[in-house]
Chains A and B, each alone.
Chain A
Amino acid sequence: MKGTHLGEFQEIVLLTIMVLDDNAYGVSIKREIKTRADRNISRGALHTALSRMEEKGLIKSWQGEANKLRGGMPKRYYEVTNKGVNALKEAKDVRDQLWNEVPRLRLQHNYG
């Protein structure tokens, strides 16, 4: 199994960036995850995930515009690279495969 192994949190961040499309930067990523997954993540944790993935080449970033609402400090926008998309797909494939292999019966909830 070649390619890059993605952690669960990293996968969510990657997907969120893709969802946000042009508007993926620190605050928006954080808020999106909060609304969709009801997960409160710290900016620190997000920073670690983003910087690791950027190091691996899964995302790239560029400096955006400054904004009065940010104390005049520029945003940094993130975008998923092709490598990142591939990694996501790979992760999805693995899961899909596994889902398909699971015996149908097992999928029903056991009561009792």
Chain B
Amino acid sequence: MKKSLPTPPKLYSRLFKRLCRDELYFELQGDLLEEYWLNVEERGYRKANRAYKMEVVRLIRPSVLKLFQKQKKHYNNTAMLRNYTKVAFRSLSKNKLFTFINITGLAIGMSVGLLIVNLVFDAVQFDQFHTNKDRLYRVLSTPVRPGLNSDQSATAPNILGDQMKADLPGVDEVVKIRRWFSGRIKMEKGSLFTQGIYADENFFDVFSFDLKRGNPSTALSNPFSIIITETLAETLRPGEDLMGQILTIPDRGEFLVTGIVADPPVHSHMKFQTIASFSTVKALEDQGIISNNSQSWEDYSSGYVYFLLEEGQRMDNVQVWLNQKGLDVSNQFENLDVTFATQKITSIIPGKDLNNQIGAELIPLPIIILGAIAMAIVLSACFNYTNLSIARALRRSKEIGVRKIVGSSKRQIFTQFTIETVIVTLIAVFFSYFLFLVIKPLFMLSIPRIDQIMQPETPPTLMIFFVLFSIVIGLIAGLFPALFFSKIKPLTALRNNSSLKLFSHVNIRKALIVVQFTLSIFFLITMNVVSKQYRYAMIHDMGFEKENILNLSLNGNDARKLITEIEKIPEVSKISASSMVVGTGASQSYMIKNPVRNDSAYLNFISATPEYFDIHDIDVVAGSIYEPRKPEERLNRMMVNEKFVEFQGYSSNQEILGEQFIINGQPVTVTGVVEDFNFQYIEEPIRSLVFFESDIRFDFLNLSIQTALLPNTIDKLETAWDVVDSETELEVKFLDQELEESNAFLVIFVRVFGFLGFIAASIACLGLLGMAVFNAETRIKEIGIRKAVGASIGNLVMILSKTFIRLISISGIVGSFLAYLVLDKLVLAQIHYRVSIGVLEIMTAIVILFSLAILAVGSQTWKAARRNPVESLRYE
């Protein structure tokens, strides 16, 4: 009587199988089953099931569970590790070419990675030194005004801070800060230009700057108190105690030194040389020395509000309050719509792209892009390693077979190959470090203001991260080969090489070669296109004269006085004073009201003397240039450009002449219209512009000179400068030179992408070289037979390189397409006056890469094809 036996509760059986030690399982499970079936017969299903469950539960004890099983110990661990290392070095030195390719590729690739590690290492440390960093925030504002761009700003009206302190519960402290406390501090001889901030008296309660001397709670209480940094104190009066002394800052007044503070740490987003008490602002405003802005809701350029959230408080309440404030303010002012937000102090760097930063800034996006590119390059080097290691599996498989037969476990083989890879990456990071030392200064030179974020020196802690980074890279690169090798079956490995499944990943490998070359092509094309844009920007007619104009920074000196001095120099034919260097993008704006249409807009202006137009060769198309007049009448006249005429809705240039507009509450009459010219960057379209002559806005003198006599002229200029200002150095620059500098970011682009392209291309070619070597080696018999049967060298080279050439052609097509799309639709689309992407840029990149690749593949195939077939076939 055969009937099928009932099954006990499956879940419990499975649980038991999972938990029970393997060597006990048969005995115990057998007993359980036997007992179960006996029970079923004697007592029925239900009771048997229950008994079974109970038995399983009661078997859960240390002597049965796998969990408590002691691991078998390999007592010879160190010996094995030593062996792995030794074997690793032997196999590395046996395959010198592959080792060279791997180490070079990884070293080049990792050098870029190290740069990113360095940058991130510095960036994440920012503002971590504040004790209150977890609840310290600042208010951000987004003022929207007609005619002006409405980017988010790090600033907020200071009056918001006052109201916050008074109205908002859940906030411990509010600190108001104002920038532009800059000026020259008088010294015994001459004076020193310093940059500082105004700050509330609780500054030191909230921020953890190290006040060396003075009382942290009262040092910033009284008006005209000043705290200076140690370095500044040492510069001003070396070896002297400055506490309690008076410092004179000409445009600001006399200040009492109430504290000495340690220099702000490198990793502080806020940098200053001096801190003046916030009460000074009010005093200066009352005296009319600075404009009355600290109580204004319309000031979004110089005030900052930081606040300390009460412990345990949520941000929601603050945000609700700020939203309400934003609405109130927007309702109150006709031309202003403002919203407020908050930002944690540790998210300032790296953080959002904001206007009016108080100090350094680091936007994550470029870093992420750079990081992604660096990662792509490092991974591409990793891929070379993986690819070549597996390609070489034929040679190692016997070793692994023997190891396994002698008793190596899968895990041990895995460890062995991982160790081997990590050794390679550690050697590579050593070389990579030297490369890093070479490229870091170049990187810091080419990216503006990066020195505020990155320190030039490399601290020892960073080295540890470098080593860790290389180990991680080693693990990534070694993962696949290690898995592959640990899976090799010993019998197959020892019996017959050819049955190894070596070529199962051929398609993935081909795809990765395509990716590598596509990346290289992309970088090279980008480099070409951007350098074309740069050349275009340099020769682009911006609509004004660039040659032979020397710009002189006034540095706060009186323009008229200097003009009278410089007029005596015969080499200087014409002089004008103005507020900006044309074409470099540093424009200022004013609210200009059209009384007829009764609307206002923020528009760019240039304050300039009448000679300005002649010097820059800007044509007047209607009316005339404002005449030199008495100072008090100057502000009533202005010139506009054609865009302004159009913007204000006049149909012809003649029509606007004599019209009045309101600037700063004053009526201003249009006297003339000038042709449009590119006064901002080349990236921007031409916008509306007005000219008037406001002495307090002058920052530069524009001199038209004869270059032939330059050194002589500069000497004379210096003499003239010394008459007016004996304390500072003369600062002059040619206009064309300055325009070149304002386009410098394009040069950076060219450099960075050229460099990346070079690196990506060299790694890709190294990988290709490795694959070509491998290919020629594995097909050596085929080549021998072909040759013996009568193939020519040319035929053989063709056969061997066919695949590679096809792969590179695919990458060429994909890469150019990708580059064209990204550059044309994303990068160049941002620039108003731009070049188009031509065949030339794409072709040069492809030709460069093709010749490199053919060099790599060709050299190997040529060698293989020329071999005497007798040699390769003899051993058969």
Contact with B along A30-73 (1 / 0, CB 8 A): 11000000000011110110010000000000000011011101
Contact of A44 with B37 at beta-carbon distance under 8 Å, contacts A71-B29, A73-B26, A74-B26 already known: no
Do residues A69 and B64 form an inter-chain contact, with CB atoms below 8 A?
Answer: no
Binds A, one of B52-60, B266-274, B365-373, B454-462: B52-60
Most A Cβ at <10 Å: residue of B29, B30, B61: B30
User: Within residues 1 to 55 of chain A, which ones have a CB less than 8 A from any CB in chain B?
Assistant: 25-27, 30-31, 42-45, 47-48, 51
B188 interface residue per 8 A CB criterion:
no
Mind listing 6 A-B residue pairs with CB under 8 Å?
A26-B30, A43-B28, A47-B59, A71-B33, A73-B26, A76-B27
B35 interface residue per 8 A CB criterion:
yes
| 6 pairs of A and B residues whose beta carbons are closest in the complex | A73-B30, A26-B31, A70-B30, A42-B58, A44-B58, A44-B59
Do residues B59 and A69 form an inter-chain contact, with CB atoms below 8 A?
Answer: no
Q: What A residues does B5 contact at CB under 8 A?
A: 69
Q: What A residues does B59 contact at CB under 8 A?
A: 42-44, 47
Do residues B33 and A47 form an inter-chain contact, with CB atoms below 8 A?
Answer: no
B724 interface residue per 8 A CB criterion:
no
User: Within residues 64 to 90 of chain A, which ones have a CB less than 8 A from any CB in chain B?
Assistant: 66-67, 69-71, 73-76
Do residues A67 and B34 form an inter-chain contact, with CB atoms below 8 A?
Answer: yes
Do residues A26 and B58 form an inter-chain contact, with CB atoms below 8 A?
Answer: no
A side interface size, CB within 8 A: 21
Q: How far is the CA of A44 from the CA of B52 in the complex (A)?
A: 12
Q: What B residues does A76 contact at CB under 8 A?
A: 27
**Chain A nearest Cβ from B70, distance in angstroms:** 14
Do residues B61 and A70 form an inter-chain contact, with CB atoms below 8 A?
Answer: no
Not counting A42-B54, A51-B63, a sample of 10 additional A-B residue pairs whose C-beta atoms are within 8 angstroms of each other reads A26-B28, A30-B35, A44-B55, A44-B58, A47-B28, A47-B64, A70-B33, A73-B27, A73-B30, A76-B27
Do residues A47 and B63 form an inter-chain contact, with CB atoms below 8 A?
Answer: yes
Q: How far is the CA of A74 from the CA of B31 in the complex (A)?
A: 9
B472 interface residue per 8 A CB criterion:
no
User: Within residues 28 to 46 of chain B, which ones have a CB less than 8 A from any CB in chain A?
Assistant: 28-35, 37-38
Q: What B residues does A30 contact at CB under 8 A?
A: 31, 35
Q: How far is the CA of A51 from the CA of B26 in the complex (A)?
A: 15
Do residues A27 and B63 form an inter-chain contact, with CB atoms below 8 A?
Answer: no
Q: How far is the CA of A44 from the CA of B55 in the complex (A)?
A: 7
Q: How far is the CA of A27 from the CA of B54 in the complex (A)?
A: 15
**Chain A nearest Cβ from B42, distance in angstroms:** 10
Do residues B34 and A27 form an inter-chain contact, with CB atoms below 8 A?
Answer: yes
Q: What A residues does B38 contact at CB under 8 A?
A: 27, 31
Contact with A along B705-721 (1 / 0, CB 8 A): 00000000000000000
Q: How far is the CA of A38 from the CA of B38 in the complex (A)?
A: 18
Residue of B whose beta carbon sits closest to that of A70: B30
Do residues B31 and A25 form an inter-chain contact, with CB atoms below 8 A?
Answer: yes
Q: How far is the CA of A16 from the CA of B59 in the complex (A)?
A: 21
The secondary-structure label for the interface of chain A is helix
Most A Cβ at <10 Å: residue of B24, B35, B38: B35
Residue of A whose beta carbon sits closest to that of B25: A73
Residue of A whose beta carbon sits closest to that of B38: A27
Contact of A48 with B31 at beta-carbon distance under 8 Å, contacts A27-B38, A42-B54 already known: no
Residue of A whose beta carbon sits closest to that of B8: A71
Do residues A74 and B27 form an inter-chain contact, with CB atoms below 8 A?
Answer: yes
Residue of A whose beta carbon sits closest to that of B33: A71
Q: Contact check: which of A31, A48, A66, A71 meets B61 at CB < 8 Å?
A: A48
Residue of B whose beta carbon sits closest to that of A29: B31
Residue of B whose beta carbon sits closest to that of A45: B58
**Chain B nearest Cβ from A32, distance in angstroms:** 13
Residue of B whose beta carbon sits closest to that of A71: B33
**Chain B nearest Cβ from A42, distance in angstroms:** 4
Do residues A44 and B61 form an inter-chain contact, with CB atoms below 8 A?
Answer: yes
Residue of B whose beta carbon sits closest to that of A41: B58
Q: How far is the CA of A67 from the CA of B61 in the complex (A)?
A: 27
Do residues B58 and A27 form an inter-chain contact, with CB atoms below 8 A?
Answer: no
Do residues B64 and A73 form an inter-chain contact, with CB atoms below 8 A?
Answer: no
Residue of B whose beta carbon sits closest to that of A42: B58
Residue of A whose beta carbon sits closest to that of B26: A73
Q: How far is the CA of A70 from the CA of B5 in the complex (A)?
A: 10
Q: What A residues does B64 contact at CB under 8 A?
A: 44, 47
**Chain B nearest Cβ from A65, distance in angstroms:** 11
Do residues A75 and B27 form an inter-chain contact, with CB atoms below 8 A?
Answer: yes
Do residues A69 and B32 form an inter-chain contact, with CB atoms below 8 A?
Answer: no
**Chain B nearest Cβ from A30, distance in angstroms:** 7
Q: What B residues does A45 contact at CB under 8 A?
A: 58
User: Within residues 113 to 154 of chain B, which ones have a CB less than 8 A from any CB in chain A?
Assistant: none
**Chain A nearest Cβ from B550, distance in angstroms:** 97
Do residues A43 and B58 form an inter-chain contact, with CB atoms below 8 A?
Answer: yes
Most A Cβ at <10 Å: residue of B26, B55, B64: B26
Do residues A43 and B26 form an inter-chain contact, with CB atoms below 8 A?
Answer: no
Contact of A69 with B34 at beta-carbon distance under 8 Å, contacts A42-B55, A43-B58, A47-B64 already known: yes
Q: How far is the CA of A70 from the CA of B26 in the complex (A)?
A: 9
Residue of A whose beta carbon sits closest to that of B64: A47
Q: How far is the CA of A30 from the CA of B35 in the complex (A)?
A: 9
Q: Contact check: which of A25, A26, A48 meets B63 at CB < 8 Å?
A: A48
Q: How far is the CA of A26 from the CA of B60 in the complex (A)?
A: 17
Q: How far is the CA of A44 from the CA of B31 in the complex (A)?
A: 11
Most A Cβ at <10 Å: residue of B26, B28, B31, B54: B31
Contact of A43 with B31 at beta-carbon distance under 8 Å, contacts A48-B61, A73-B26, A74-B26 already known: yes
Do residues B61 and A26 form an inter-chain contact, with CB atoms below 8 A?
Answer: no
Q: How far is the CA of A82 from the CA of B37 in the complex (A)?
A: 35
Residue of B whose beta carbon sits closest to that of A55: B63
Most B Cβ at <10 Å: residue of A26, A43, A66: A43
**Chain A nearest Cβ from B734, distance in angstroms:** 93
Do residues A74 and B30 form an inter-chain contact, with CB atoms below 8 A?
Answer: yes
Q: How far is the CA of A55 from the CA of B189 in the complex (A)?
A: 95
**Chain A nearest Cβ from B828, distance in angstroms:** 74
**Chain A nearest Cβ from B69, distance in angstroms:** 13
Contact with A along B5-24 (1 / 0, CB 8 A): 10000000000000000001
Q: What A residues does B34 contact at CB under 8 A?
A: 26-27, 67, 69-70
Q: How far is the CA of A25 from the CA of B64 in the complex (A)?
A: 17
Do residues B33 and A73 form an inter-chain contact, with CB atoms below 8 A?
Answer: yes
Q: What A residues does B31 contact at CB under 8 A?
A: 25-27, 30, 43, 70, 75
Contact of A44 with B60 at beta-carbon distance under 8 Å, contacts A27-B31, A27-B35, A67-B34 already known: yes
Q: What A residues does B26 contact at CB under 8 A?
A: 73-74
**Chain B nearest Cβ from A89, distance in angstroms:** 27
Q: How far is the CA of A70 from the CA of B27 in the complex (A)?
A: 9
User: Within residues 248 to 303 of chain B, which ones have a CB less than 8 A from any CB in chain A?
Assistant: none
Q: What A residues does B24 contact at CB under 8 A?
A: 47
Residue of A whose beta carbon sits closest to that of B35: A27
Q: How far is the CA of A25 from the CA of B38 in the complex (A)?
A: 15
Most B Cβ at <10 Å: residue of A25, A26, A71: A71
**Chain B nearest Cβ from A46, distance in angstroms:** 9
Q: What A residues does B63 contact at CB under 8 A?
A: 47-48, 51
Q: What B residues does A42 contact at CB under 8 A?
A: 54-55, 58-59
Q: What B residues does A27 contact at CB under 8 A?
A: 31, 34-35, 38
**Chain B nearest Cβ from A56, distance in angstroms:** 14
User: Within residues 59 to 91 of chain B, which ones have a CB less than 8 A from any CB in chain A?
Assistant: 59-61, 63-64
Q: What A residues does B32 contact at CB under 8 A?
A: 43
Do residues B35 and A73 form an inter-chain contact, with CB atoms below 8 A?
Answer: no
Do residues A43 and B30 form an inter-chain contact, with CB atoms below 8 A?
Answer: no
Q: How far is the CA of A70 from the CA of B35 in the complex (A)?
A: 9
Q: How far is the CA of A48 from the CA of B58 in the complex (A)?
A: 11
Residue of A whose beta carbon sits closest to that of B32: A43
Q: How far is the CA of A66 from the CA of B64 in the complex (A)?
A: 21
Q: What A residues does B35 contact at CB under 8 A?
A: 26-27, 30, 43
**Chain A nearest Cβ from B844, distance in angstroms:** 74
**Chain A nearest Cβ from B125, distance in angstroms:** 56
Q: How far is the CA of A69 from the CA of B63 in the complex (A)?
A: 26
